[in-house]
Chain A
Amino acid sequence: QVQLKESGPGLVKSSETLSLTCTVFGASVTSGNYYWSWIRQPPGKALEWIGYIYYNGRTLYNPSLKSRVTMALDTSRNQVSLKQTSVTAADTAVYYCARTTIVTKLLEFWGQGTLVTVSS
């Protein structure tokens, strides 16, 4: 069974860099069948897609976040990482990692999410 688990600091200071890791179980991040996405949800608000990374390192980011976001793969640990610079209170959210099957565009597997709070 595929499982995704996000991890990282729950509290980040304003203007600093948010760093999260998604560990994948039951599937390989080196598979060419999937995109690995990060999606966030501010408290009480809608979902927002941050971007995805493909097995070969190709990325696509949300244009509104592109200048501050970097995603990467650690194939030895089967992990996907997210770095987001210059955070503000508006970046406070639950951050999810999720897997999309490319052929069907089926966003089927999600992590449980991790809450990141940006403090001033």
Chain B
Amino acid sequence: QSVLTQPPSISAAPGQKVTISCSGGSSNIGNNYVSWFQQLPGTAPQVLIYDNDKRPSGIPDRFSASKSGTSATLGITGLQTGDEADYYCATWDNGLVFGGGTKLTVL
């Protein structure tokens, strides 16, 4: 059972927008920055977002995120088939904690 709660799966058509939620508590999301990771099949995770809403260089602006209270949200616009992956939120709570992951299917 993960400390951070994400929907197990989500699906949408190419070109559409999706949001993935991440729910935690005051000891983790409520008082720490949130990161988001994309894990393409068979590969290591890659950071998409850090410090709640910052994108590392090279990450397209189709990816955005926000945090409010004890929850965070990742948004992806202009969905592409290449976005099909597992997405994880993470934050610090006496160590690094991850969400259970959300499998995004692009139909």
Tell me the A residues contacting B by CB distance below 8 Å: 37, 39, 46-49, 51-52, 60-63, 96, 104-108, 110-113
Contact = CB atoms under 8 A, between A and B. Distances in A.
Per DSSP, are chain B's interface residues mostly helix, strand or loop, or mixed? strand
Contacts of B60: none
Given A46-B88, A96-B44, A108-B50, 12 more contacts: A46-B2, A46-B98, A48-B98, A52-B95, A63-B94, A63-B95, A96-B45, A104-B50, A105-B35, A110-B45, A110-B46, A112-B44
Contacts of B95: 49, 51-52, 60-63
A72 to B, nearest CB: 18
B54 to A, nearest CB: 8
B46 A49 contact: no
Contacts of B51: 104-106
Contact of A47 (B45, B47, B50): B45
Interface of B: 2, 33, 35, 37, 39, 43-47, 50-51, 54, 56, 88, 90, 92, 94-101
Contacts of A46: 2, 88, 98-101
Sort A-B residue pairs by CB-CB distance and give the 6 closest, nearest first.
A49-B96, A110-B44, A47-B98, A106-B50, A46-B101, A46-B100
16 contacts: A37-B96, A46-B2, A47-B37, A47-B45, A47-B88, A47-B90, A48-B98, A49-B96, A49-B97, A104-B50, A105-B92, A106-B47, A107-B50, A110-B45, A112-B43, A113-B44
